[in-house]
Structure 1
Amino acid sequence: MRISVIGCGYLGAVHAATLASMGHDVVGIDTDESKVRLLSRGVAPFYEPGLEELLAHTTAQGTLRFSRDFSETSGADVHFLCVGTPQSKTGDGADLGYLLAATQELRRHARAGSLVVGKSTVPVGTVDVLGDLLAERGDLLLAWNPEFLRQGTAVKDSLVPDRLVYGAEGPQEKRAVEMLDAVYAPLLGAGVPRIVCNFATAELIKSAANAYLATKLSFINAMGELCDAAGADVVALSEAMGLDPRIGARYLHAGLGFGGGCLPKDIRSLRTQAGSLGVTALEDWMGSVDTINREQRARSVSLAADLLGGSVAGRQVTVLGAAFKPDTDDIRDSPAMDVAMRLVEAGAHVTVTDPKAINNAWLRFPQMRFETKPLAALDGAELVVLATEWDEFCRLDPAVAGKLVRRRLLLDTRNALDADSWAAEGWTVAGLGVPGRRPRARAAAGQPTSV
């Protein structure tokens, strides 16, 4: 099929490349000239594992191209709206300005009988607004097809999704479903489940899923605070809970909490939607989830101060991680950078290292020192803070690291390291919701705890 993808950020670029790899003729439309130029060369403007290879293959094959010219959508059978819906600058609701502008522009060029499909995460009722815009034409179909991509695994999530959801209603429903089935024929043929529902349900599914995941994360972090107060170990507690098949271990890992461009804004948007519709229980619930998540950052900075004798002022602190999670260069609402900035504001001399997000972080936070190599970042540190659990940080040799730092103090905000092996090398290790690990007796007696 001939397909246009409007908006070529994380969602749109991955979606366009995936559809092209299925054999469709795809054009990606974006207003950012530099982004279009990079994508046209098969180069991803952001880090996402596997995306650049997929882009290079499909652009070279000729099934995928990119443009700033909306008129190139005129030959498409299906148009996917993948533009961003960021949190509003004036509140917790979603900013639909980009989505509305893209729909209005598409309305001018889309050919009669083509299908407009929303993929952006939106508040319930948005489809009605877009439907009114498109109704002025009277010859365009509308459907909703929410995305469920996770940064770091977005290509896999597109090629082998857990499910496909279609929102479709009214006399156009049958035709819209047929056209989406044609788009996703390879996935449906491979047995991917398909759910057809009304517009409101399709609009709510992504936010509901993210709200549930955020709830699990905030719940185990609240339990971590209780474990700190009671002298319990949240890592062992979550492991035991996760073995219950009714609960499951995924997203039940205590630590610094969630960030990025999706979960935080989605739970705030859902809270706003619930409040506007009078569903106060959900409104309050989402508020609690958000508050618990934010407090993890303050708890981490407080624990850092405790490790350094009560204050971080004037101390050399190395933060391992800038991205909000591993396998991405995205620093939007990054817990790692939030903690680093709080440490700076408290007077610490902070060095940050990250495998992929250094450039993004440096442009946003020029007041910090950045190092591309972890070992260089460790040099002279009085406290090391693991804030993003990249594999290369988790594989650091505690003996080698110990020779570089000034003091062997480690704050593992992700509870991702083997604390006992670090303690065996003379490190004092602290985490959120876990008992502190101090150097073993032999290490304290026979080995220096700082160099």
Structure 2
Amino acid sequence: MRLSVIGCGYLGAVHAASMAELGHDVIGVEVDEAKAARLAKGEVPFYEPGFEELLKRSLGSGRLAFTTDFEQAAGAQVHFLCVGTPQKRSEYGADLRFVESAVESLIGVLSPGELVAGKSTVPVGTAALLADMIEDKVPDAMLAWNPEFLREGLAVKDTLEPDRLVYGLPDGEAGPVARALLDEVYSSIVSRGTPQVVTDYQTAEMVKTAANSFLATKISFINAMAELCEATGADVKQLADAIGYDDRIGRKFLNAGLGFGGGCLPKDIRAFMARAGELGADQALTFLREVDNINMRRRIRMVELARQVCDDSLLGKRVAVLGAAFKPNSDDIRDSPALNVAAQLQLQGAVVRVADPAAVENCRKTWPQLDYADSPEEAAERADLVLLLTEWQQYRDLDPVAFGKVVKRKSVLDGRNALNRESWEAAGWSYRALGRRAT
């Protein structure tokens, strides 16, 4: 099939290369000239394991190209809409200007019988509005909503081997036609028996935001338990292990710590709350406000704990921060809890050095006031305190004996409950973590 992908940021670039990998001819349309040029040369503008190899392979096959010209999307049977929906300034709601602009531009090259498939995360009701825009100009074109469920660090696998396919289809005779086109796009995935949920626009739009809200709630729940554990002397890791054996609950995402960040969960749950308010159903999602509050309190508590172990004063203390990306296997620093904590420590007088395997260059552009190191050892040289704030595997695998020879004081705060406490304490380190009792 001939496909177009409109918007080649993180989602769109991965989707475009993956569709070419599945054998389709794909044109990626990106309005940012520099980004389109880099992708066309096989240069990856973000860190994502496995993506660079996939991109070069797809370009080399001749099935993938990138452009800034919407006209080159003409003739595609399916047009995937992968444009960002950032949070509005000073508001909780999603900014849909980029999505609407992309659809307006696409309408100019859209032909009858072609399908626009939305993948962007949008407030419920957006698909119906976009469908009306399309029908007004190209009555026989169609719109479907086909949300993505990518995990940063696993985006290639999640695109080529998704755990489900969700189709929000139009009513009437267009529904089966749109489904047939999507089934053809994903034929190799469908043939493996991948579960499919075929539904209406509204349900398909809500699937992504509901999934993110549930995940955020689970993370904030265990962090709320961590607050109680700190107040009572209980141990949140053992608590999570115990309740995680219940298969109704499960152990995944019950690791207490610094909380969530990134470009999806925080803005998606806020946009969900905003949309519920617009629909007059705001009481249904008031709990998400507390989910958000719990998440933000963990950052404050981490700074408090750092000050506590530094004899109640951070002034002049050398602090090593291991991790800057909001999660491992990513260079994404949007709403990064690690960077937020690092900046607060610096404001309170600490001498902070930050290390990260992938995100340092992004950090230097956005947080130039912080000092950066190329390795954890360099960051921790003569440090009074070490903070693990992003659980990269190479940080989890640090040898506490060898690492202890670098620092001034063997004191570590595990912001992700990711280190082996016993081995670090056996090597002479003072170990503290959120929700864990001190020894």
Which band: TM-score by shorter chain?
A: over 0.9
Superimposed CA distance per residue, residues 51-86 of structure 1 (whole angstroms, 9 cap, x where no aligned partner): 111101010001111111100010201000000001
CA contact (8 A) 1:272 1:283 kept: no
Superimposed CA distance per residue, residues 88-131 of structure 1 (whole angstroms, 9 cap, x where no aligned partner): 11300100011000000000112222101100000001012211
CA contact (8 A) 2:147 2:205 kept: yes
The structural deviation recorded for 1:427 is: 1.0
- 2:347 pairs with one of 345, 348, 360: 345
Matches within 5 A, 1:121-136: 121-136=121-136
The structural deviation recorded for 1:344 is: 1.1
Superimposed CA distance per residue, residues 314-364 of structure 1 (whole angstroms, 9 cap, x where no aligned partner): 111110000000000000000100100111111111100000000001111
User: Structure 2: how far apart are the matches of 1:141 and 1:47?
Assistant: 34
CA contact (8 A) 1:87 1:94 kept: yes
CA contact (8 A) 1:256 1:297 kept: yes
The structural deviation recorded for 1:282 is: 2.8
Match of 2:400 in 1: 398
Residue 211 (structure 1) aligned with residue 225 (structure 2): no
The structural deviation recorded for 1:33 is: 1.4
Deviates more, 1:282-291 or 1:20-29: 282-291
Match of 1:226 in 2: 228
Match of 1:379 in 2: 381
Deviates more, 1:174-183 or 1:126-135: 126-135
Match of 2:423 in 1: 421
Match of 1:307 in 2: 309
Matches within 5 A, 1:229-244: 229-244=231-246
User: Structure 1: how far apart are the matches of 2:200 and 2:295?
Assistant: 32
Match of 2:165 in 1: 164
Matches within 5 A, 1:212-291: 212-291=214-293
Deviates more, 1:225-234 or 1:133-142: 133-142
User: Structure 1: how far apart are the matches of 2:104 and 2:314?
Assistant: 52
TM, length-normalised to structure 2: 0.98
CA contact (8 A) 2:87 2:93 kept: yes
Q: Which amino acid aligns with 2:92?
A: D
CA contact (8 A) 2:79 2:116 kept: yes
The structural deviation recorded for 1:287 is: 0.2
User: Structure 2: how far apart are the matches of 1:108 and 1:313?
Assistant: 60
CA contact (8 A) 1:227 1:433 kept: yes
Match of 1:55 in 2: 55
Match of 1:408 in 2: 410
Q: Which amino acid aligns with 2:113?
A: G
Match of 1:174 in 2: 176
Match of 2:149 in 1: 148
Aligned residues: 437
The structural deviation recorded for 1:309 is: 0.7
CA contact (8 A) 1:320 1:387 kept: yes
Superimposed CA distance per residue, residues 131-184 of structure 1 (whole angstroms, 9 cap, x where no aligned partner): 121122212111000000010000010111010000012121111011101101
CA contact (8 A) 1:224 1:234 kept: yes
Q: Which amino acid aligns with 1:105?
A: S
Over 3 Å off, 4+ runs: none
**Gaps in structure 2 of 5+ consecutive residues:** none
Q: Which amino acid aligns with 1:414?
A: R
Deviates more, 1:418-427 or 1:16-25: 418-427
Q: Which amino acid aligns with 2:290?
A: S
The structural deviation recorded for 1:37 is: 1.3
Q: Which amino acid aligns with 1:168?
A: L
2:315 match: secondary structure: coil
Identical pairs, percent: 52
Q: Which amino acid aligns with 1:33?
A: E
The structural deviation recorded for 1:311 is: 1.7
User: Structure 1: how far apart are the matches of 2:277 and 2:241?
Assistant: 35
2:8 match: secondary structure: coil
- 2:434 pairs with one of 432, 435, 438: 432
Deviates more, 1:258-267 or 1:32-41: 32-41
The structural deviation recorded for 1:280 is: 3.5
**Gaps in structure 1 of 5+ consecutive residues:** 438-451
Matches within 5 A, 1:72-151: 72-137=72-137, 138-151=139-152
Superimposed CA distance per residue, residues 212-259 of structure 1 (whole angstroms, 9 cap, x where no aligned partner): 000000000000110111111100110111111111111111000000
The structural deviation recorded for 1:283 is: 2.7
The structural deviation recorded for 1:281 is: 3.3
User: Structure 1: how far apart are the matches of 2:356 and 2:91?
Assistant: 31
User: Structure 1: how far apart are the matches of 2:305 and 2:205?
Assistant: 40
CA contact (8 A) 2:161 2:189 kept: yes
The structural deviation recorded for 1:278 is: 2.5
Superimposed CA distance per residue, residues 412-438 of structure 1 (whole angstroms, 9 cap, x where no aligned partner): 01010011211111111100001124x
Residue 16 (structure 1) aligned with residue 16 (structure 2): yes
The structural deviation recorded for 1:277 is: 2.1
CA contact (8 A) 2:142 2:170 kept: no
User: Structure 1: how far apart are the matches of 2:337 and 2:4?
Assistant: 35
Q: Which amino acid aligns with 2:130?
A: L
Deviates more, 1:301-310 or 1:394-403: 394-403
